[in-house]
Structure 1
Amino acid sequence: MTADLVFNVLIAVLGGAIRVGTPFLMVSLGECLTEKAGRINLGLEGVLVLSAMAGFGGAYLTGNVWAGVLIAGCSGALLALLHGLVCSLPRVNDVATGIALMLLGSGLAFYLGKPLIQPQAPQIPPLPLGDWSSSAQVRSALQVNALFPIGVAIAALMAWGFRSTRIGLVLRMAGDSTDATRALGYSVNTIRTAATVAGGFIAGLGGASLSLYYPGSWNEGLSSGQGLIAVALVIFARWNPWRCLWAALLFGGAGALGPALQSVGISSGYYLFNAVPYVLTLAILVWTCSPSRSVKGMPAELGVTR
């Protein structure tokens, strides 16, 4: 490959990392917030699909894309609220409930979203960060999803909140010690349910990114397992919001590699390159399976059998 081709591929991967990585970022931040409070939500795949459908439908019916984004976030929060309430019951397993909600969210989205497959809804406006360049490739690659800087701001707010606020301290305490939280007079179930709902809202913004920006339409195969991948991404990021950002960009870049190579005429092995995010997920799960790595940074209550 010539230097120009290499440059074009790198620029395309950079732009694709932001474009493809935005849903990963939102869902991983939502799961990070949920797990910091000591609860696992494997239903985020259902949250992602349902919020993508609801956001697309909201934007289509109202004609306002930001109304669609808000509806997507609220639909994710409602499904997460159901998860939080059910998990608050005695002898209910978080993982089993999450899987049930994943199926529920996906089923509702597929059933309610059938009339939305053909229509076109307003799209989230891109931020033209490449106007400084005379290169059409650079300008195109740096058309940034407007939700991406919002995701970065959420990551910064979460990192600061966990470290420097009373709310963050109480939330982390609920994730590390149920007994200590109750001893100080706090309701563990209330904290975990609130964190789950807030995490569902953030994850719902990732669904809005899918249906209202890239690929910018609604269909039943929209998510491609990104909600489940994001759970592995949180483990890889060691429950750190800033690391979730870099991990999301890594996964986004992996997902954009195939299209980037195809854009410069390299189509051999295209489908193999499309499998890179899934191979990366498997590699991360294998890499983090040893006890010394898997427990580092993990909220202690996640390892408690309930």
Structure 2
Amino acid sequence: MPVPDPEVRVTAVDPHVSLRTQEGARATPPRLRDVVMAYVGLTKPRIIELLLLTTVPVMFLAQRGVPPLGLVVATVVGGTLSAGSANALNCVYDADIDERMRRTRRRALPRHLVSQRAALVFGLMLGVVSTVMLGLLVNWLSAGLALAANVFYVVGYTMILKRRTTQNIVWGGAAGCFPALIGWTAVTGELAWAPVVLFLVVFFWTPPHFWALAIRYREDYAAAEVPMLPVVAGARTVARQITGYSYVMVATSLLLWPVAGTGWFYPTVAVVLGAAFLVESHLLLRRAAVSDDVVDLKPMRLFHWSNMYLSLLFVGVALDPLLTR
């Protein structure tokens, strides 16, 4: 259930010197704590937090109230392991890219804290455990959806799309939309139109979110030869596409009101948050009209607001059945 990596940590490492040279030969083996944290880092916990935020609220919507605690725990743990599996396998395949990008070269594989073989086994084991756990403790439909998201992210996005097309994040981002479906099926055991609408909200949210980040780190992506849209197109073109996707995202978010029959709280939240998102996207478009410089563009404003938008929107999804039933 992963989304393409929006991690933003940057370190002052000289990009012209290989990491192995900078680190030097280790005089002593890495500490156990470093190795444990390296394995945790392979799962990309910050991304998983966002995925879980789009899982649990949908369970409240499907339940029309508070879902059983045991079911929530099983879904959250199983979803965490599934997303961690996909992220770890992504790290294995993208180890060469991570070593060339300043914002990722402090990860476990570029630092040689974990071998690629060990990371591969770790990722596959997490995938097996998560699928079995979700199947036995939740239901096999949810388990199948989580496995499908895992495979799509690793094979569809990481192996096929990421290095070949500027549309990589558009279609590859679909993997991060599955939590909405999984949260719903965990409660109801079947699919419906309401989670599909939320799936599409996350789908249309992903390009503005990630392209804003990619503007900030376009030199990194260019150095790694990853054809993110901001690498191959000017800032004005990227900002126009961000604005276009933002309008579609906001319109889609409002569809949940008639489709799911929500009360007054969710559409109010969706309108307010959507209006703020559109204002921020237009401000980026205005800045892009006069400058292509990252400092002038301030793309991280939209990136951080996109995180806030999705978080608060799904909080609205969870609270609506509690406040308006």
Normalising by structure 1, report the TM-score: 0.32
Normalising by structure 2, report the TM-score: 0.31
Higher relative contact order, structure no. (Cα contacts within 8 Å, ≥ 6 residues apart)? 1
